[in-house]
Amino acid sequence: MTRIVEIFWFFLKAGAYSFGEPEHHISLMHNELVTKKHILDEETFARYKKESASLPGYGSIQLAMKIGLNRRGVLGMLVAGLAFIIPSVLLMLVFALYYREFVNGKFKLVDSFFYGIRAAVVSILLYTTLVYGIRYIKDIKLFIIFIIVTIASIIGLNAVLLLLLGGFTYVLLRNTNAAKKAATFFILQVQPQFVLPLADNQKLLGLFLKIGAFMIGSIYFFVAWVKTDLVDAGLLPLNTLLDSVALGLFVPGPIFSVSVFIGYILSSWNGAMLALLGVMTPIFLFALIGNKILPKFLSTLMWRSFYRGVTVGSIGIIMGIILMIGYQSLLDIRQWIIFIVCFLIMLKWSRLNLLWIIIIATNLGYIILHFFPITLK
């Protein structure tokens, strides 16, 4: 796989067949590149995977670009990244085109379906965040950071400051001489947060640049930015955010393709293009720069501690946001029943594809609204 066209077709097919969590996407790449075609050996693939997982961004797309970069340089990286997201972006645009028409109160059947879906999305967000918490919170220091950041997120403190708090606190707790070095590196990543132009389109681009730059920890971390910057500002209904996450589960590839859906809802095609540009630019830059400097940082205790603290901080932020979303979106006992049922199903069958949770909730929503049309407070 050395020609650009080969890289394009491979990652286009990978993006079209990769449903679910990033681990599923990576498994598909491993099966094709290592097991079947022997393009990469086990050691090289494992190294690429480790380095990609240590970069902000979606793990599978970072891996795709890492492979493209090492096969055909910067052009290979760009082609691999774009090809991988094309299927999901196109499908989310199709959903966005029809969303306004069908989810507006005119079609009661559709509304009843989304009634259950929204409760399921809250349940999925909570469950996956707890899973990420169990995965990354390995000691009492990280647990304390998680609790503090979660509370601070509910209060409404700035998310970037909370990420810094998580990273620097864990560095200080493990190595008091390393915090200053960590600050220098992290400032390069947080600059987009503080430079938001005045024009509406530029503000929209600034938001999606931030989403791309701070895609850390949970794959649903983008929900925190959209909630605080758009929903709380009255620019996007909370139900639309929940619906977009649900629809994102029905498309292959990275879940952040939901950004294109949200961009279209806010500002038609212009918004969709700004969303795609904003999300992908930091991811491309991290892949390019990280390939040169990451091996050195991975070998340092300072960087590993800082990134682990930031990751746990991001999980705390999204946990706080999810608790607020649940409080605001679960309006009556019927939705709470759907939420609890979906959560219990995921606890019992942890390997169940999340699409089944959405399908179950869709039917529950219809059945409950059909037999219990009166709102039960």
238-257, pLDDT tens digit by residue? 988 998 888 888 888 777 78
The pLDDT mean for the chain works out to 81
Question: Taking residues 312-329, what's their average pLDDT?
Answer: 90
Distance CA 186, CA 311 (A): 13
pLDDT at 57 > cutoff 80: no
Average pLDDT score over residue span 78-94: 90
Q: List the domain boundaries for the chain.
A: 4-84, 107-371
H helix or E strand, kind and range, residue 341: helix 333-348
What the block records as the tokens of 211 is: 């989403």
Residue 190: per-residue pLDDT: 42
pLDDT attached to residue 184:
44
Calculate mean pLDDT across residues 180-188: 45
For the residues of 47-105, what is the DSSP string, one character each?
Answer: HHHHHHHTSSS-HHHHHHHHHHHHHHHHHHHHHHHHHHHHHHHHHHHHHHHHHHHHSSS
pLDDT in tens, 328-350: 888 889 889 999 999 999 999 98
Q: Where do runs of H (alpha helix) occur along 103-178?
A: 108-136, 140-155, 159-174
Q: Is the pLDDT confidence value at 181 over 70?
A: no
Percent of the chain residues past pLDDT 70, beyond the cut:
85
SS (H, E, C) 7-49: HHHHHHHHHHHCCCCHHHHHHHHHHHHHHHCCCCCHHHHHHHH
291: pLDDT strictly greater than 90: no
- What confidence category does residue 177 fall into, taking pLDDT thresholds of 50, 70 and 90? low
How high is the pLDDT of residue 16? 84
In which band, very low, low, confident or very high, does the pLDDT at 90 lie, cut at 50, 70 and 90?
Answer: very high
106 three-class SS = coil
The pLDDT confidence band at residue 220, using thresholds 50, 70 and 90, is confident
pLDDT at 189 over 50: no
More confident residue, 88 or 181: 88
pLDDT band at 376 (very low <50, low <70, confident <90, very high): very low
Residues 223-229, mean pLDDT to the nearest whole number: 86
Q: Which residue has the higher pLDDT, 106 or 271?
A: 271
Q: Which two tokens stand for residue 160?
A: 């970037």
pLDDT band at 374, cuts 50/70/90? low
Lowest mean per-residue pLDDT among 17-26, 241-250, 297-306 = 297-306
Band of the pLDDT at 199, cuts 50, 70, 90?
A: very low
Q: Compare 149 and 291 and report the one with higher pLDDT.
A: 149
Say which range, 35-44, 73-82, 281-290, has the weakest mean pLDDT: 281-290
Mean pLDDT, residues 82-111: 79
Q: Report yes or no: 325 and 124 within 8 Å, Cβ to Cβ.
A: no
Those residues with Cβ within 8 angstroms of residue 175's Cβ, 6 or more apart along the chain or in another chain: 301, 302, 305
Average pLDDT value for residue range 74-79: 90
Tell me: the pLDDT tens digits for 128-159?
Answer: 899 889 988 988 999 999 999 999 989 888 88
**191 pLDDT band (50/70/90 cuts)?**
very low
Q: What is the sign, positive or negative, of the torsion defined by CA atoms of 93, 15, 86, 322?
A: positive
pLDDT at 1: 59
Sign of the dihedral defined by the CA atoms of residues 210, 212, 218, 223, in that order: positive
